[in-house]
Chains A and B, each alone.
Chain A
Amino acid sequence: QKEVEQNSGPLSVPEGAIASLNCTYSDRGSQSFFWYRQYSGKSPELIMFIYSNGDKEDGRFTAQLNKASQYVSLLIRDSQPSDSATYLCAVNEERTGGFKTIFGAGTRLFVKA
């Protein structure tokens, strides 16, 4: 089992719809969770981070965390063609002496105009 799993997609949604991206992780001790967006040929950039169970909203983006189910998701409301990218889920796992960031393989999102 991979440490951080995402559906590779592609996920295709029409413009204006809600896009739902999901991620599961294996390390129950993980404390911090991140969503990065990566456009083709570019570097990843942070969209949101979440540490506590529940929802965290930032503009059109909502991150949801359920530690009991080891599940984190990202909702994008009013999806725009400019949201078309690969979305990477990242989890910080505790290691001796520090933390290690584990990235999922990413979900490709296409927003159709």
Chain B
Amino acid sequence: DAGVIQSPRHEVTEMGQEVTLRCKPISGHNSLFWYRQTMMRGLELLIYFNNNVPIDDSGMPEDRFSAKMPNASFSTLKIQPSEPRDSAVYFCASSLRGPSTDTQYFGPGTRLTVL
């Protein structure tokens, strides 16, 4: 199994530009999670999907952030416009049934730098 796949692995962009992060969950997993990790705030859950439906997006910091899951094998996290404070490592994770009891498997992350 390839595990959770994220792209790009590194992204450097200028303030004001649109950024799109991509994730392919493990095949057969029904839940997908987007996290952001910074030194100051640690690992924060942004949003999670169950069966492609957003269940909890209370962690999305503001309207500049949006996430979609058009099918079971693909999700995107978009930041528009990006700001320097969005610089962080963004992780995607998936689990078989959901967060209540299941292990979450993390992708390698996308390191985003906004200049």
List chain A positions with a Cβ less than 8 A from chain B: 31-32, 34, 42-46, 49, 51, 88, 92, 95, 97-106
Contacts and interface: CB of A to CB of B under 8 A. Distances in A.
Interface residues on B, range: 20 to 34
Contact of B56 (A42, A46, A98): A98
B55 A97 contact: yes
A43 B106 contact: yes
Interface of B: 33, 42-45, 48, 50, 55-56, 58-59, 91, 98-101, 103-109
Contact of A105 (B42, B48, B98, B103): B42
A97 B106 CA distance: 23
A49 B99 CA distance: 12
Contact of A101 (B33, B50, B108, B109): B33
Given A31-B100, A43-B107, A45-B106, A102 B45 contact: yes
Contacts of B99: 92, 98-101
A100 B101 contact: no
Looking at A99, A103, A104, the one whose CB has the most chain B CB atoms below 10 A away is A99
